[in-house]
Chain A
């Protein structure tokens, strides 16, 4: 599996955009980038995934650099309920294992 690197923690003001970075410099050509989040004492929640192109859904946007070595998850208008640990995961091609790293603890402040 390609390894990912994320900042340990980030803070964001309520109502502002939260931009969470992820480095995955060893990603291979057919590996996808997945984002999940885990609110305290709950199971992880799927957010979004992408391969090459930028993606957007009702929860977030995913911006992947042209060389695919990094990506940014954008929560356009963060709320207090977005406080969670955010995991950036690269999916291996031969199966569907998700290997969770330490993630980024995002704290949205009022």
Chain B
């Protein structure tokens, strides 16, 4: 089945630093999504990408849908303490009716 490799698994950064994380797939995806999960809560959708090469921003967050359609990147600029959490990528394959596949997450710690 489809698998997503998300890296890095964890990051420890200082407040104000920029962050970059990525996801790669063994197969082509039609849609890429990025979620953030706070402790004790469900994931919250941050950014959705629907087209190869698409670059979308949401405040300090920017995500890109890779040209090969097998990868996606999420960047966070000028990190703040409330950026702490686990970030998940998710993708949907070409079938349109396929289930979402999730990466295992990147745990972000921001030191003030």
Q: A and B, one complex?
A: no
